[in-house]
Each structure stands twice: as C-alpha cells, then as structure tokens.
Chain A
Amino acid sequence: VGKDKADLLQGTLDLLVLKTVETMGPIHGWGIAKRIEQISQDLLEMKYGTLYPALMRLEQNGWISSTWGASENNRRARFYSITKLGRKQLAREAEKWEQMAAFIGRVLGSTR
C-alpha cells in the first residue's frame, strides 16, 4: 500500500459505489473496483475486503440489486444495477456531499 494513496473518507465508499453502479450498471465487482481506481487516477486503491461488504450492505438496504451473468471474457460473475430506492439515496448522498464540500472549501478559503 503506497503512502501516497489516500484512504477513503468514511461514508464516501457507498457514494462512490452507488454512482459507479448508476452510470455503468449492470456491472460486476471487478468492474466497479477498476472504474473507481481509474477515475481516481490510481490515487485510491480499492481493497476487495472493503468493497465486498459495501456491496452486500447496499444490496441489503435495497439500493442495488444483483443477478448472475457472464462477463466480457465469458466468466460467471455477479452483475449489480441500481434500484429506484438507490437512485433516491444517491441523490440525497450527493447533495449532502456537495454541501459538505462547499462548506469545507469555504472554511479552507476563509483561513487563507
């Protein structure tokens, strides 16, 4: 684990996964991890030990659903897609995040 790779801010993993599933879905776990790493320009390293429970949790909450399917190289994989509830949750979370980011930006800006 590289020192320069950032840890995920708590609570942001759900948001990232939801957004990825929304735009890319149906998508398998590998794809989600790759996509997030790619967008972060490899600043984030997705550990499956973290990603996996998050997927389960989102599914239990009814925000995503999953079915078995075949991957691009014809392997059996689980494909995740967002649900109606999930879209609502995503909108809520995204709004919260933007408010927070704006607030933190203001705080950092004002001290300068």
Chain B
Amino acid sequence: MAQFRSLASRFFALFRRRELEQRIDEELQFLLNMQTEENIRRGMDPPDAKAEACSKIGNRTQVTEAVYRMNTLSFLEESARNARLSLRMLRRSPGFAAAAIFTLAIGIGANTAVFNIVYAVLLKPLPYPEAGRLISVQHTAPGAPGMMSASGDLRLSASLFFTYADHNRSFEAIGAWSVAAATVTGQGEPEEVRTIIVTKGVLEALGVKPAAGRPLAEADQSPGAARVAMLSYWYWQRRFGGDRAVIGKSLIVDAQPAQIVGVMPAGFRVVDTEAELILPFRFNRAELELPGFYLRSVARLKPGVTPEAASADIVRMVDLWMNSWPPPSGVNPRSWDQWRITPALRPLRQDVVGRIEQGLWVVMGTMGIVLLIACANVTNLLLVRAEARQRELAVRAALGAGWGQIVRQLLVESLTLGLSGGLLGSAIAAALLKAVVAIGPASLPRLNEISMDWQTAGFALGLSLVAGLLLGLIPAWQYARPKLGQALRAGGRSATDSRQKHRAQNILVVAQVALALVLLVCSGLMIRTFQALNRVQPGFTKPEQIQTLRIAIPTALIAESERVMLTQQQIQEKLAALPGVSAVGFASTLPADGLPPNWDAIYIVEGQPRLPGQPPPMRRFKAISPGFLEAMGTRLIAGRSYEWVDLMDRRPVILISENLAREYWGDPRTALGKRIGYARNFREVIGVVQDVYDNGVHDVAPATVYWPTFDANKFMPATRNVTFALRSARTGSQGFLRQVEQAVWSVNANLSLAAIQSMAELHARSMARTSFTLVMLAIAGGMALLLGVVGIYGVIAYTVAQRRREVGIRLALGAAPSTVRRMFLRRGLILCATGCVLGLGGAVALSRLMKSLLFGVTPLDPMTYVVMPVVLLVAALAACYFPAQRASAVDPVETLRAE
C-alpha cells in the first residue's frame, strides 16, 4: 500500500508528503482554535469547548487519509487491493494455488521455450547485414534424366557461375562455394579440417568483413597465384592462440604451403556451414566446359530488384551460357535445352533453416494446444472455487460492490495466477532451453543463436496476461452477473444443482478431451512414421557395429595413384587384422554422411539406344573398395563384388544398384554381363547391389553406379579421399580407436584420421528431424493426456461432492451402490465420448497440415485413429472410476445427519 501511496503522490507533485502534512496540521490547528473560541463564546467550559471542537474537526490522520484517497488513482489502488486480496486467497488455499500455478507454468514454459527456438531458427534475421536481400541461386531441371530423381535441385557449374558473375544485371554480388576436407600438417599430428572453397563474391555477398587481416581478393582466384587461406575465428584461437602475428605466415594445407591472409569473425558461417579454413577456388577458365553442376551459390540482390526480376535475368543468362561455353565432346550444346533449366531462387534463410521449418511450426502449434488445455483445466478449478465463493461474492454485492468491481476482482485474481505461472514458466523455459542447447539436436540449425532474450521475456509476459484473462473470463461471466439474491437465499446449500450451472464446466472438459485427442493423434502419426522409417532397409545392417573414419591421401604426400591404392589396401589389411573386426572396406562416401553426392554421365548403355547429340543421362556414382559391401552389410542381389585383383589388373568391371539394373534391363540377373560407360571406357556389370538410402531413409534410394576406387576414370585414377568402414562389436570403445589409429599410422605416420563415428550416429542424424518432432509431439501428447484426465477427474469428483446429499438420499431409499457408480461413470463417459468425436474431427482437419512430416503412413492412418481414442477413453474412465467409487461408498446416515 505504501508503494501505491508514494506512486500516487508522485502523480501529484504539487503535494509533497511533508509539506502536505505540515499544511494540514497548521490549518487544522487554526480551525481548532476558531471552533474552540466559538464554543466558549456560546458559553461552554474551556475543556469541554476544546473537546467538542476536536470531535468536530477530526484528527490529522483522518484528513490526510481522505486527501490521499482522493489523490490516488482509484483504479490502481483498487487493483492493488484486489491483488493483495487474491494473493491472500491463494495463500489460504495453497493446494489450489500450487496446482493452478504449476499447470500454467508448464504450459507457458513449454510455449516460451518452443517460441524461443522458433524465433532463433525461423524468425530472427540471418547474422548478415541486410540479410533480406540475400538469396540462394539454384535451378530445377525437370528434363534432366536421372539427375532430379534424388537431389531435387540443380546446382551451378563453374561455367554457369562465371556467366552469372559476368553478365547479371540483378546482383550486387554473387559467389559460388563448395565444401571439402583438407589435411593440415606441419605442427604436431596431421589434422583433417573442414574447408569452404569460395569464388570471389561469396564474402562480398554475405557482407562480412574479416576480424583480422584482409579478405580473399580476386587475384587469389587465378590458377597461377600464390596459394592463400583464411582462418575461422575458432581455428585461429585453437591452433594459434589468437596470435595476430600468424597473418602472413604459411600453413601446410594438403601438403602445399598457403599464406594466411586473414581471420573471419567468431561465429561466421557460409549459409549453414562452419569450417576451419576458407580457401579460394582457382579455376582455369580456358578448361571449363558446360556441365559439372556441384557448386552452391549465394547472391545479394541489388536494392529494389525483386526475385522475379532476378529470375528473368537468369533465364536470359542460361541461354547465353549454352552459347558461350564448350560442351563435352560429341554433345550438342543446345541439348541442354531439353533439361529445361529453370531458376529457383530462394531466400537464403530457407537454405539455412532447411527442412526443420514445418516440424517446428507443428511443434509450436501443439504446444499452444497444450497451453489451451492447461488453461481449461485451471479455469475449471477457478469455476469450482467461484462456486464455493458464491456466497462471499453475493455478500460483497449486497454490501454495495458493483458488478464491475466483482468482475475486476475475479480478473485480477486470475491475472495473479497467470503472472505467477508465467514467472515460474520462464524459469522452466530457461531450463528447457539450456537442456536443448546442451543436447544440441542435429536437426536444429542456428542452435548457437538460441538464448533467453527480451523477445522471449515479452512473449512469456504476453502469454501470461492472455492466459490470465482467458482464465478469468468464464468465472467472471458466470458469477458476477446480478443474480446474487438467489445465491444468498439458497444459503450455499443448493444441493440439487441446476444443469445450467455445470454447462461451462462440461464445455471445458469436452474441449479439453477434444484437444488432447488431436495431440494424441498427431503424436500417434509421428510414432507410426518413426516405425515406418525404422522398417525401411537402409542398405546396411546393424549400424551401431560399423566404425567409420575418413583418411585423405594428398598428392603431395603420395603422388602416384598406384601407391595410393596400395597404401589404402595395406591400411585395410592392418585394420582387418585387429581383434574383433570381421570385415573392412572403404568408399568415397557413406550413406547419409552429408557429403555432396557425385554425379556423372553414363554415355553408353548396352541395349539402350541413345539419341545422337543429346546430353547423356546423369547418374549418381560412388567409388567402393573390395570388402566395403561386406563391412556395411549391403546385400548383393546378383553377381559378385570387387576383388583386389580387379583393381590391380584394371579389369573393366562395374557394380550397379538394383533400381538402376531394373531401369535399364528390367531384372537384376539380366544386367550381369551387360556393358555401360564412356565411349572408350566400357565396363561390364559383374554385380547388382541392394538399393541404399543414400539421402536418408525418408528420401528415395537413388539409382547408383559403383565404380572401383582405383582406375575409375582417366583424370583421377585413385580415389584419395575415402571413408573406411569396419564391422566390429568394439565400435566406439577408446581402446579400439587407439588400435585403429596405430594400425593406420604403422602404414604411414603422416595420415590424418577424421570423422571418427559409428554408422549409427550418421543414421540417427538422417532421422533427426523425425525424432525431434516425435519427441516434442510425444511430450505434448503426454501432457495433454495427463491434463485431460485430470480435468475429467476434477469435474466428476466435483459433481460427486456437490451431489453427496442426493446420493445419500438415493442410497437411503434403496439404490444399489453399483447404480450410483454407473450414474457418475455414464456422465464421465458422455463427456469424454463427445470430446473424442469432436477431437477426431479436429484431428482429421489438422493432420493434413503435417503431411510432409509423415512417412509411410497417411494422415488418416486407421490404426492411429482407433488406438488413440481408445487410450484416451480408458484413461478417462479410470479417472471417473475413483470419484464414482467414492460416491457409492457414501454413508447415507452420516450424509443426511451432516445436513
């Protein structure tokens, strides 16, 4: 109160407290004197005269109070009084307060946490200046055979990039980039690092200046220039302790010295990728041909240029590109017309955020529903309390409290609840976020940008206020209306209640059940999706028993291709000899390892005529070693796998995937002995391999050509950058990893090992989005189920308590306890069934929205739609059973006597 007084007096600066009191004192003294004198004049004794004057004039406190009351903004003061009143009420019923506040806190906390994630991932601008003008330049090519089936997008070729960079009218800057691994040697153990290779324009488009040194310059991009590199902030800190003197020194990258020219600021990423080194591309323009579509691209639109205008610009430049660069020999350059290359410009944000967006919105929506259910629950509690307090409210009304005042009091009470819940909820949200960041789900991009900030605090506050108002509205509307005389007359003993009174409660429970069912159905669908994903045979077995590690052999370390192959073979033999290892092999990429896929044209397919002048169909390819399929557990459908002798003798043989064999020749068996390849590099199919889900199990398995790791093409006979796969039950154990390292270094001590993980980790990462959504939905569904059941329980228990007298009479008149029990169970069942019917309707409508999250299950999956209502009904019936049981155990004599 004191605070409010001083607050009020601050509104009226005219009256400072001390001044005011002094003035009142003085004036009262004057009045007192005058009155006393008058009394004496009228013939009173001086003591009596003074006493009479005192009683007429009153004392200082009284007058000061009156002045203050007048000065205080009455609304503020009344609210404060109401707040104090409601806090006192809450303290007096701690059980109710705890239940209500905790329920709200969970709802608000979960929502705040998810909002925070949504905000950081989806809504916050990217950490680049004027990020709204950044776009990613990609294409679709619906006419490109083979190409679009799996990857979805056509990237840029180097020649396409140069065309865009030279001739565009729309971009302030455009750059192309790609990710690669490199080995850094020279200091301590050799280390494999992630590098981003960029053309000129990438750093310019992103608009990020180096933290130290200079950015890459155009001159660094030419093939003859001295090699240079930029460091990431963290690599600079980790490897060089943040020493500025390192700029200008040289670093051995892939056995070649490169001069360090600059350091990027902390947290810098190119779109979604972080790397230790940033290196320049060194294209020789004279050697470039039309194809080779492997570059990602980022561009900054000129101010005022729309994406549509930029698209039109690109259509023009694609035409220009086809006329200005040489095609591969024997191909008509205009044949790329058939690919129907169409620009697909996307806001850069979309590339960063990736596929998580829809899942996040679904999670946000479900958390909102949980909060609604929580609010319904607390409203129910409030209704019960308002019912019990009806007499109190009626007395207040009878004593002159206006309708508005009572409504205000009820609203202030619910707002107090809402804000308390919000406060606790913010603490819960902070804890949840800390946990999320600590766990760091692989599917969440921009995780490092998540933090509690004022937007989140504002969101929590807003949510608390809205929840508080929502909570208060129904009780206020129900009980503040002037029908209070009735309540007083009934004397709180309205034992046989009218149906009317329970309508609000019933509606709330039905809504709760309906919403809970919607969430249960959604999480049920995610569970079914997860099951379906796990049922897919990914093309490898027991991934937790596959140890993977990458070994790159740079040219500078071993120049001759044959020696590379021999070194790799030696490593394989050493690893196979380790105890507990049953099979070893290696390949250019592993399924779902996130490395960009390789594409190449298949020029000639035996038995398949090719139209002259057409570009050959693009196929995905990877290189595998003998033993690799066995190590992964990938089945051979027909024929045999590679043997070392195939590689040593450079036999023209090849393996293909089952779906490719079916596409070309209809049957895996007939594919054996057929020949495919380039004009002078014909290879005979010796084996057909089970389909492998290379893009993750939710995507189609791409048709794939498996080249051997040696002698696959004339430009690069050896595959120098490979991932080994070891099948062993000891996967992941420290002792095993040390033995693996020793085995590799016993062959060549300068080799670095990277990406040491189990295949299970890779597999889990490819399912991360589904598991993230699943976990969140399961939590939401579980909470909804719990809250819904508690709601039903509360309403039935309350009904039982209200109708205790009626039950007593019924039992006294000879009703069987089972009849009484059935009476309450039936009521619960009717409420619940109504909720279920509505909920099913809602689920049918809403589950469509999550269609793109589902896999192997339709949004109307019958199984889910049968099981979930049954689960809910059983849980609700159990919740009804206990109060119903208590009702039937009522002792009629005692109940009636109590009246």
Contacts and interface: CB of A to CB of B under 8 A. Distances in A.
Contacts of B56: 47-48
A97 interface: no
B11 to A, nearest CB: 10
Nearest to B12: A60
B31 A30 contact: yes
A49 interface: yes
Contact of A76 (B26, B62, B66): B26
Interface string B12-39: 1011000000011011101101110100
A59 B20 CA distance: 13
Contact of A53 (B12, B26, B34, B70): B70
Nearest to B33: A75
A32 to B, nearest CB: 11
**Taking chain B's interface residues, is the majority helix, strand, or loop, or is none over half, making it mixed?**
helix
Contacts of B69: 53
A5 interface: no
**Taking chain A's interface residues, is the majority helix, strand, or loop, or is none over half, making it mixed?**
helix
Interface string B59-71: 0001100110111
A57 B31 CA distance: 19
Given A47-B56, A48-B57, A49-B62, A76 B67 contact: no
Interface residues of A, number: 20
Interface in B27-83: 27-28, 30-31, 33-35, 37, 56-58, 62-63, 66-67, 69-71
Interface in B237-266: none
A87 interface: no
Contacts of A75: 30, 33-34
B63 A49 contact: yes
A29 B12 contact: no
Contacts of B67: 52-53, 56
Interface in B571-615: none
B19 to A, nearest CB: 12
Given A48-B56, A52-B24, A53-B67, A60 B14 contact: yes
A19 interface: no
B66 A57 contact: no
Contacts of B70: 53, 56-57
B27 A53 contact: no
B30 A76 contact: yes
Contacts of B35: 30
Contact of B27 (A49, A57, A73, A78): A78
Interface string B116-128: 0000000000000
Given A48-B63, A49-B66, A60-B12, A30 B58 contact: no
B10 to A, nearest CB: 14
Contact of A71 (B15, B30, B57, B66): B30
Given A48-B56, A49-B58, A60-B12, A77 B63 contact: no
A67 to B, nearest CB: 12
A53 B63 contact: yes
A60 B12 CA distance: 8
Interface in A37-57: 47-50, 52-53, 56-57
Contacts of A78: 23, 26-27, 30
Interface in A50-98: 50, 52-53, 56-57, 59-60, 71, 73, 75-78
18 contacts: A29-B30, A30-B31, A30-B34, A30-B35, A47-B58, A48-B56, A49-B63, A52-B63, A52-B67, A53-B69, A53-B70, A56-B70, A57-B70, A59-B14, A73-B37, A75-B34, A76-B30, A78-B27
